[in-house]
Chains A and B, each alone.
Chain A
Amino acid sequence: MAPGRRGTRGGGGGGGGRGGSHNNNNSRKPQANNHSRKARGAAAAASSSQPNNKTVKSLANVFSVEDEEESKSARRRKQYLDEVDNYEYNVDEIEDEDDEEIDSDDAFDEADEERFENFQFLGSKGHGNKKKTKKSAAEQKGKSKKVDSDEDMMDDQDESEEEESEEEEGAEYMDISDMLNQPQEDDIVLPKKAKVPGFNDTDSEAEDFKFGDDNDDDEDDEEDEDDDEEEDEDEDMGEDDEDKGTGLTSFIDSLETTVKKRKQGDSSEATSKKPRKKLRERTEAYDESEYNLQAHRSAAAHSVTGNNKKKLEMFDLVSTIQDEVGFSSLKKNIQALESGPKKGKTVETLTAPLPKIVQDRLNRQAAYDEAKKEVSKWTPTIQKNRQAEHLAFPMNAPPIDTPSSAALASKFDASTQLEKEVQEVLVDGGMQDRKLMEFEELALNKMSTEEVEKRRAELRMMRDLMFRDELRAKRVSKIKSKLYRKIKKKERERNTLTSEEMQELDPHQAQEERLLAEQKRAQERMTLKHKNTGKWAKDQLKHGNFDPESRQAITEQIERGDRLRRKIQDVDSDEEQSGGDSEYSDFDDDDIEGVKSRAFDELAQVEEQLAKAEDAALEAKVGKGVFAMKFMQDAAKRSKLQAQVAAEEFRKEMMEEEEMLAESSEDEWKAVGKGKKKKAAKVSEPVTVLGAGGRMVFGNTAEGSSQDDKEPTKGQGKTVKMNSGGQINKVAFSAGHTTKVAGPVTVKIAGTSTSSKSEKLQAKIKKQKDGEAGSDDDVQIDTSSFLTLSKDSQKERGLHKDVKKESAENTASSRKDKKVEKTGEESTTVASSTVQDDGDSDDSDASEPEPVMVHAKTAAALSQRDLVARAFANDNVVSEFEKEKMEVMEAEKPKDVDLTLPGWGSWGGKGAKKKKNVIVRKAQPGDGVEVSKRKDAKLAHVIINEKRDKKAAAYAVTRIPHPFTTWAQYEESLRAPVGKEWNTNSTFQKMTLPRITTKLGKIIDPLTAPFK
């Protein structure tokens, strides 16, 4: 169909050229793609591959040009319409118009042409121009020739063409089938082109490809120029047509024939050969540039006329610009181009482009990399936002500027009465900042310039020196030489004063130094550095690294260790006694004397020091300083006086105690003799107190007394055990109910003798135990309580107490004890009275007697205990409790369950075999608690429920919550409360702040790129 249509359009004077030009315009794009289609003149050939719809478009565009021709014969139109149904409507419309009478050529005459020479229709881009030029060219041609004949001829031609086309219609069908059947040359060429451009082409095509690719974009622009030049050329031709008239006609004829031939394909064999040749020439690679076009056109023209010599060679063009400087490279290129095919050299061809898939993949990869690079710019921003504890949207909101107090103060202007008054007062007091500053400035101003200069210089100098010193220090500290360090150390040692010298020079300082040294020594002693147990020392010894230096170092270390381990010799006192005994020295009666003497010595020392201090103060007086001031001296005097008084008091006390000691021991002995003559034997029964060091310090206790008695202490009697903490572990007589002393009991008695008392108490214990031996109820007797009794009571009473009274009371209590045994009822009151006597003996005369609570470890408690034991003698609460606990423990033990049913699946009766496969359900974890693993395993008086609290378990967590990996991590996160009850308001708000907050009604902008 397409060729037929083309044929109709192609009719009329110069229709081939015109139509060709139109087609050329429309097919520009495909042309650009199909690089072989360079032939501008060969419009028919170019349009042959055009898709149908394109032609339709082109028709729509150019109908104004063509309709004139179309209106010429209705038949033709009809036929036309038959052929192309789809644009029937358009054509019809135009058909009926009267203005069709006006030829477009006439309408746009020469005058107009001149006028609108440079005019281009909007959007036509050289279209109109081209048309015009073509038309004008045709007109010129027509004018120059005999127009009528020409027109007739054209008409004839048209008619003949129509006929032809009519025929063609029929032929055309055939034609397609033929085309399908016969592989034409075009067919052969076209697929090649349709493939990858430049893939299988000839050399020239390759060249084309090269240039065409680059110039693709420029082509449009260039073509405009081309058209202009064409026009020029046409005009030239118009000028020359007188002599070339015949040539031109023949050219046109040939054009027509070629067109026809192209269309008709193989319909006529005679004409088919010629155009083929030409076609071949056309497909030759010529760069689509102004030169080529020109050359080609002219070449075509020449070839038609047979003027082959005039063909424009590349060299002709290039030679003209030989002189130009910038064209040398171009020339080279061209030479290379030219020489290539001519000389038969194998010009390097382009490598085959990669398959599309691969190419696409590469493109994608490249694009991905690029995109990634672009996107990765955001990562810091995103990371920052993700890690942020809190994000407040809209971000980057302008900060609310809260004016500082200084800023407010600077702006402040006293307006009210009160403010003014305050201001006034401030001004009067000179308390204004501005004034103060002014004052300072004034002070500076007062100085003369010289002074200022001097000061500045001084400052500069100081700064300089400091800087230099710093630098030096830095440098020195970086020195790693051991030798240097050694020398330095020795130098330092040489420079330091010995302690004696120091003492002479500055006793106070010396004292301090000594203290410091001692502290250091203590620290050194504590560490193991000197013990050859260090890593370095071990290494040295192990590897026998016995170079003199290291050996010396080791020996030094050993020496130092020895020195440190040696006992320090007191500078002043030389009465350090045998070290091993020192801990027990307090137990010796003789040692008390020692202690005392030491105390006196210390006193003397203190006094000496006081005297020294006085001297020092006197010395200080001579000098200047704070100590020379009066109030300091007064204070010193006062403190000295106090110290003296204290010393005196202490001395007095000590003396008194000594006297008392003698007295009391006598009295107590008497009392014992009186009260317990019968039980003298029992009383004298020795009790050893095994104190294993620790804090327990006895003044004069059981052991002492036993020593006094001169009785053997070992292997006899009761043993009261004490632990190292000075606690007395009680001997619990009942397994179920033990009471322990929690706090350590420290007893310090400085020299008072209570030996007799303690003995008496021991006797009491004995007695009570005897009494309890009968009853099976387990009342524990806390032996420690008796010991503590003596101490406590003494502590309470103080040291200078009337011992007589005490002893009397003791005897009284013992008597009362006897009473207790007699009647329970009576004893309550007695006991309470005892308590009262005991507790407030000092101030009993001051206040009325008042019953008082006593600690269970005091003497008064003794009778109470006894009472309680008797009152609840038949209440076996403790044993019941124990029984209950046993039951509970038994019940909660994990048990295996025998699931076999007796009599099922086995024989019963006498002699029956025991079933082999006994099904026993083993105790599962969580079924019970082992007795030893119970929480109350070590608490006889407590039963702790081991059952699971299911209701509370609902609040426990069974699996580790998400981000955490261990229980510890999770539980640590719970350890601090968040609530406002436990936190300050600010903390609470901060802790409960949601991660993202937004402002209501505010637009949240997308992130702005910080990197742009």
Chain B
Amino acid sequence: MVEKKKKDPVLAVVPKYARGNSNKALEGVNKLQNKKLKGSIKSREKQFKEAAYKAASAEILLTEEGGYLEPEGVEKTYQLSQRALQKEVDISTAHKMFTLDLKFGPYSIDYTRNGRHLLIGGRKGHVAAFDWQGGRLACELQLRETVRDVKWLHNETMFAVAQKKYVYIYDNTGLEIHCLRNHIEVTKLDFLPYHFLLASVGNTGYLKYQDTSTGKLVAEHRTKLGKCDVMAQNPATAVMHLGHGNGTVTLWSPNMPTPLVKMQCHRGPVTAMAIGHSGTYMATAGLDGQLKLWDLRSYKPVQEYYTPTPASSLSVSQRGLLAVGFGPHVSVWKDPFRTKQVSPYMNHLQPASAIHDVKFVPFEDVLGFGHRSGMSSIVVPGSGEPNFDALEANPFQTKKQRQEMEVHALLDKIQPEMITLDVGMVGKMDKAPIQVANKERKEAWEAEHPVEAKELKFKARGKNSSSRRHLRKKAKNVIDQKKVELLERIENDKKERAKKRAGNPDEPHTALDRFSGKKRKL
């Protein structure tokens, strides 16, 4: 009897971690003349393979598993109300369903990257930051001016608020640290965590990038499309997407003064936008009542939906759920991008209120949304990523870890120039024609070695004869014999020259004499 070899269960997972095709990379390697290169390629491929295997076998450490609501029989998941759900879930989860009734609405909200801290900003000036799970308030401010948007920066110690005129940065005690006077009348804020860039766009239609680590204004682009209040970042590429009044969506990087891509997405103004975590799908909502889902690789719409009323806010969860806030409703859609959905995954009604800002909480099955009368949080099973990378975003971060991570993040900061549509651009081949490359190189060289403009020197020729120099050096007020002689001589010389220049007055005047200054005898 031949015993069947047990297949390694890890091997099934390996393709998920394999980067590219090893066979393709090894194609034609054996024909290489360079033995050293051959060896190095082979060993490299071996190493890659090993790395993939190791990564796959480390999947065993991802102990948590995500799940969704599972309907039985005629049950529909979208019929399940939060109240009903509250009875079923455990206490800690039930605690995450709450509503804050606040009268300074509508509220915009933001969660830190680890999902632990919440920042809310009411239109009428109310700003509060707190550890929402622990229920600890960090600070609460009444700014007494319009607050259009709030945004956490790299961690919970700092946040930016788009106020009536400028953008301000506060620390977690509510102390105002900075006032960014470059950002005027900002309606939307976003933060690129790997580049430490605070991006803002507002009524002026300028997209501005400010480096929060150095304080430098990295770039400001005029969109030329007027007021803009829809902005989202592509988490995979750090490209900023703006939604405009004419239904177009533009994609921006700090490098280019013109948009990288401009898409006509809606017939009416774009009202909301969200981008999936993989960066491949984008959801846009327009005032035309449409909700469109786009594939950002081909820039083609994959699905189109109609919302009863134009959607005011969109959000994509870590596991790809799409939350749509329209009117007082929030509906959550499961797997909306790849397949056409007939019914939503979950529905929620916030009575007598208009939804302003929906946001999924990272690493939690919770959806938070700000509305006209405050802020609410509902449970959406299966929305959050169950396993977290503690070095990336740690929900259970201690203070020390936070500090450590801040330093590391600053050390690992990426330059804004690296923001392009193509993520793997760095280190790859420059595909531009050689002429372009040469020209650029030349320009760069010239920029480095500027030709200094020579100062024009006024040279008074003949005014610096030896006798004059001698005269200059003599004391001015002393007149002796020598000096008198000298002066005389100079005078004579002068006369002589003038005489010479004038030429012989008896000679007839020629045409060329006009150049010598000879006066015509009249």
Contacts and interface: CB of A to CB of B under 8 A. Distances in A.
Contact of A977 (B19, B36, B76, B431): B19
Contact of A983 (B20, B51, B427, B428): B51
Interface string B258-271: 11111111011000
| Pairs of residues from A and B, 10 with the lowest C-beta to C-beta distance, nearest first | A851-B308, A856-B304, A926-B436, A956-B430, A925-B433, A972-B25, A976-B19, A951-B417, A951-B255, A941-B264
A70 B441 CA distance: 95
A513 interface: no
Contacts of B137: none
A855 B305 contact: yes
Nearest to A782: B304
22 contacts: A387-B39, A843-B79, A853-B308, A855-B341, A856-B290, A856-B303, A868-B289, A871-B268, A872-B268, A875-B268, A944-B299, A945-B261, A950-B255, A956-B427, A957-B429, A958-B437, A965-B34, A972-B20, A976-B20, A981-B391, A984-B51, A984-B58
B306 to A, nearest CB: 4
B504 to A, nearest CB: 45
Nearest to A846: B79
A944 B260 contact: yes
Interface string A812-844: 000000000000000000001001000100010
B267 A872 contact: yes
B327 interface: yes
A202 interface: no
B255 to A, nearest CB: 4
Contacts of A980: 391
Interface residues on B, range: 35 or more
A991 B51 contact: yes
A736 B248 CA distance: 14
Nearest to A742: B302
B425 A868 contact: no
Given A948-B432, A976-B19, A969 B267 contact: no
Interface string A852-892: 11111100110011011001100101101100100000000
A85 B446 CA distance: 80
A843 B76 contact: yes
B288 A953 contact: no
Contacts of A952: 253, 255, 417-420, 425
Interface of B: 19-20, 24-25, 32, 34, 36-37, 39-41, 43-44, 47-48, 50-52, 54-55, 58, 76, 79, 246-248, 253, 255-256, 258-265, 267-268, 288-291, 295, 298-309, 324, 326-327, 329, 331, 333, 338-344, 347, 349, 389, 391-392, 417-420, 424-433, 435-437, 440
Contacts of B425: 952, 955-956
A784 to B, nearest CB: 12
Given A949-B255, A950-B440, A739 B304 contact: yes
Contacts of A389: 43
A357 interface: no
A942 B299 contact: yes
Nearest to A956: B430
A971 B429 contact: yes
Interface string A717-749: 000000000000000000011011011000000
Interface string A195-234: 0000000000000000000000000000000000000000
Interface string A951-970: 11111111000011101011
A362 interface: no
B230 to A, nearest CB: 15
B349 A850 contact: yes
Given A872-B267, A954-B417, A958-B437, 4 more contacts: A389-B43, A850-B329, A949-B256, A952-B418
A926 B435 contact: yes
Contact of A955 (B24, B37, B427): B427
Given A855-B303, A981-B392, A957 B430 contact: yes
A872 B288 contact: yes
Nearest to A745: B340
A73 B474 CA distance: 96
A402 interface: no
A872 B76 CA distance: 36
A948 B436 contact: yes
Contacts of A972: 20, 24-25, 41
Interface residues of A, number: 82
B50 A987 contact: yes
Contact of B308 (A835, A926, A953, A981): A835
B262 A942 contact: yes
Contacts of A983: 51, 54-55
B41 A969 contact: yes
B176 to A, nearest CB: 33
A880 B245 CA distance: 13
Contacts of B291: 853
Contacts of B308: 832, 835, 851-853
B436 A855 contact: no
Interface of A: 387, 389, 736-737, 739-740, 742-743, 792, 796, 832, 835, 839, 843, 846-847, 850-857, 860-861, 864-865, 867-868, 871-872, 875, 877-878, 880-881, 884, 924-926, 936, 939, 941-945, 947-958, 963-965, 967, 969-977, 980-984, 986-987, 990-991
Contact of A853 (B32, B76, B344, B419): B344
B259 to A, nearest CB: 6
A856 B19 contact: no
A877 B246 contact: yes
Contacts of B248: 877, 881
A973 B339 CA distance: 36
Contacts of A926: 432-433, 435-436
A939 B339 CA distance: 22
Contact of B418 (A740, A843, A944, A955): A955
B289 to A, nearest CB: 6
A443 B256 CA distance: 84
A963 B36 contact: yes
Contacts of B39: 387
A854 B420 contact: no
A962 to B, nearest CB: 9
Nearest to A831: B308
Given A926-B432, A952-B425, A943 B340 contact: no
Contacts of B349: 850
Contacts of B342: 792, 796, 839, 855
Contact of A851 (B19, B256, B327): B327
A740 B76 CA distance: 30
B385 to A, nearest CB: 15
Contacts of B19: 975-977
Nearest to A851: B308
A957 B268 contact: no
Contact of B79 (A737, A847, A953): A847
> Which of A855, A861, A924, A982 has most B Cβ within 10 Å?
A855
B428 A974 contact: yes
A832 B306 CA distance: 10
A864 B306 contact: yes
Contacts of B255: 949-952
Given A852-B331, A944-B261, A963-B34, A987 B51 contact: yes
A300 B420 CA distance: 110
B247 A942 contact: no
B40 A963 contact: yes
Contacts of B435: 924-926
Given A835-B308, A875-B267, A944-B261, A852 B432 contact: no
B20 A975 contact: yes
Contacts of B265: 941
A851 B37 contact: no
A868 B307 contact: no
A967 to B, nearest CB: 5
A186 B223 CA distance: 113
Given A868-B289, A871-B288, A872-B288, A974 B432 contact: no
Contacts of B48: 975-976
